[in-house]
Amino acid sequence: MSVAAKTLGHLDKLEAESIHIMREVVAECERPVMLYSIGKDSAVMLHIAMKAFYPSKPPFPLLHVDTTWKFREMIAFRDRRAVETGMELLVYSNPQGREMNIDPTVHGSQLHTQIMKTDALKQALDKWKFDAAFGGARRDEEKSRAKERVLSFRNAQHRWDPKAQRPEFWRLYNARKGPGESLRVFPLSNWTEADVWDYIAREGIDVVPLYFAKERPVIDRDGMLIMVDDERLKLRDGEMIQQKMVRFRTLGCYPLTGAIESAAASLDEIIAEMRASRSSERQGRVIDHDGSSSMEQKKQEGYF
């Protein structure tokens, strides 16, 4: 066979890089965990983990930080994928938040995110003493993420210091840390939204059906189409449930995630629609718009 027999495409290179990162962290850290948020990025990350350690199972559990406000279809999908892959699935919700009955539509998105996501994540990592957590965040998603290292160091209080990040050279990751300190690891750092969908199509990866257009019950709230996923969503004056052909470009908590009107019901159609799109991916996420640098602030406080 000739040397040039196989040329590596862009997706092959990204996949090889992600696999290398995962193996490196598993080799150097004591208790890694994979944050599984059920979306398309998590789907790709889990798929790559299954490849990275084959024929072994990935030597870490999945952790889902459940805000209790996820779409029902996401939860069903999560449980099914855990069974299919044979991965151990840990689910954690902030018990104080549950007691307080935190409702993003009542308490606001900022408080909800702080208590049910940021605090919950820190509690979960402390509870199981995880020293490295894989996350599916990509640098092309948001400006402060564009600045983050592949291995992002967190102090014992889980804080990120964007002004003093460790330098990172070539493929040499410094995974060393003191007691209580931990790492957030982003194996998909260099992937774009387009890469993720191209890879999902190439590999035949299963994703939550909410990404595909379908008639769904939605209301128009503050310029966003919010899906009425259960009876907890209280209609305000003048709001009316409509059936619309919609789909989601990103998935989060249902009252905070805007749907887009779309007829794209297949992977091909989604990819075509994304390529023609004039807006960025996270436009539909309420929590990103609490101020131009709000993601950076959340990250400093320990948000993934």
Cα-based angle 152, 158, 161 (whole degrees, multiple of 5): 55
Residue selected from 15, 41, 119, 229 as contacting another protein according to rule CB under 8 A: 15
Binding of another protein by 5 (CB under 8 A): yes
Mention every residue, 6+ apart, whose C-beta is less than 8 A from residue 116: 65, 67, 68, 69, 93, 94, 97, 102, 253
Token match 């008639």: residue?
215
Q: Which is closer to another protein, CB of 234 or CB of 289? A: 289
Question: Rule CB under 8 A: which of 45-104 touch another protein?
Answer: 50-57
Residue selected from 127, 129, 143, 159 as contacting another protein according to rule CB under 8 A: 143
Site string for another protein, 180-219 (x = CB under 8 A): ---------xx-x-xx--xx-xxxxxxx-x--x-x-----
Binding of another protein by 11 (CB under 8 A): yes
Residue selected from 26, 34, 62, 133 as contacting another protein according to rule CB under 8 A: 26
Site string for another protein, 248-277 (x = CB under 8 A): -----------------xxxx--x---x-x
* 162: DSSP letter: G
Question: Rule CB under 8 A: which of 37-56 touch another protein?
Answer: 50-56
Q: Which is closer to another protein, CB of 206 or CB of 301? A: 206
Q: Which is closer to another protein, CB of 53 or CB of 92? A: 53
Mention every residue, 6+ apart, whose C-beta is less than 8 A from residue 184: 132, 133, 135, 151, 152, 154, 160, 304
List 258's β-bridge partners, or say none: 226
List 243's β-bridge partners, or say none: 217
Q: Which is closer to another protein, CB of 119 or CB of 296? A: 296
Q: C-beta of 223: minimal distance to another protein in Å?
A: 12
Spatial CA neighbour of 85 closest among 47, 41, 53, 52: 47
CB–CB of 304/252 below 8 Å?
no
Binding of another protein by 20 (CB under 8 A): yes
Binding of another protein by 176 (CB under 8 A): yes
> How many residues sit in the footprint of another protein (CB under 8 A)?
81
C-alpha span between 50 and 28 (Å, rounded): 19
C-alpha span between 251 and 228 (Å, rounded): 14
Binding of another protein by 163 (CB under 8 A): yes
Q: Which is closer to another protein, CB of 116 or CB of 195? A: 195
